[in-house]
Amino acid sequence: MTTSAAQPTAPAREPLGVTLGRVLRLLLAAAAAAALVNSLSPRGIPWRAPPAAPAPARATVHAARRLLAGENTLPLDARSVEEWERARLPGAVSLPLRAARRETDWLGMLPRDLTLLVYCSDADCDDALLLARLLRAHGFENVVWFEGGLRAWQKAGLPVEGAGKP
Amino acid sequence: MKRGSGSKAGRERRAASAVRVMCIAARCLAGLSLGAAALPKAAAPAALAAAIRSYGLLPAALANPAAIVLPWVELACAAALLAGRRYRAAGALTACALFASFALAALAARAGPGAQPCGCFGPAYSLQAGSAQHLAVNLVLGAAALLAYACAAGRVTAVRPTQSG
pTM of the predicted protein model: 0.63
- Separation CA B154–CA A2 (nearest Å): 9
Angle formed by the axes of helices B88-111 and B60-82, nearest 10°: 140
Chain A hits for B126, CB-CB cut-off 8 Å, are 60, 123, 147-148
- Separation CA B65–CA B47 (nearest Å): 13
- Separation CA B9–CA A111 (nearest Å): 78
User: Using one digit for the tens of pLDDT, what is the confidence trace for A3-55?
Assistant: 444 444 556 788 888 989 999 999 999 999 999 999 998 778 888 876 556 67
The type of residue at B90 is A
Buried b (16+ CB within 10 A) or exposed e, B41-72: bbbbbbbbbbbbbbbebeeeeebbbbbbbbbb
Are B157 and A37 inside 8 Å of each other by CB? Answer: no
Are A124 and B123 inside 8 Å of each other by CB? Answer: yes
Are A10 and B159 inside 8 Å of each other by CB? Answer: yes
In chain A, % helix, strand, coil (3-state, to 5) comes to: 40, 15, 45
| A:B CB pairs within 8 Å | 153
Chain B residue closest in CA terms to A152: B124
Instruction: Please state, as a whole number, how many other Cβ atoms lie within 10 Å of the Cβ of residue A15.
Output: 12
Chain B hits for A148, CB-CB cut-off 8 Å, are 123-124, 126
DSSP code for A54 = P
pLDDT at site A30:
95
Strand pairing partners for B118?
A: none
Query: How large is the C-alpha radius of gyration of chain A?
Result: 23
* Model ipTM value: 0.81
pLDDT at site A147:
85
- Separation CA B109–CA B128 (nearest Å): 9
CB of A147 less than 8 A from some CB of B: yes
CA distances from A70 to A75, A128, B140 (A): 12, 21, 38
- List chain B pLDDT tens, one digit each, 165 residues: 445 455 778 888 888 888 889 999 999 999 999 999 999 888 888 888 878 877 878 887 888 899 999 999 999 999 999 997 889 999 999 999 999 999 998 888 877 654 567 778 876 666 777 888 889 999 999 999 999 999 998 887 756 544 443
> Which positions ≥6 away from A121 have C-beta within 8 Å?
A79, A83, A149, A150, A151
Q: Looking at chain A from residue 29 to 68, which residues have their Cβ under 8 Å from any Cβ of chain B? A: 29-31, 33-35, 37-38, 43-49, 55, 58, 60, 63
Q: Which of B89, B101, B98 is nearest to B71 (CA)?
A: B98
CA A140 to centroid of chain Cα atoms:
19
Chain A hits for B12, CB-CB cut-off 8 Å, are 3
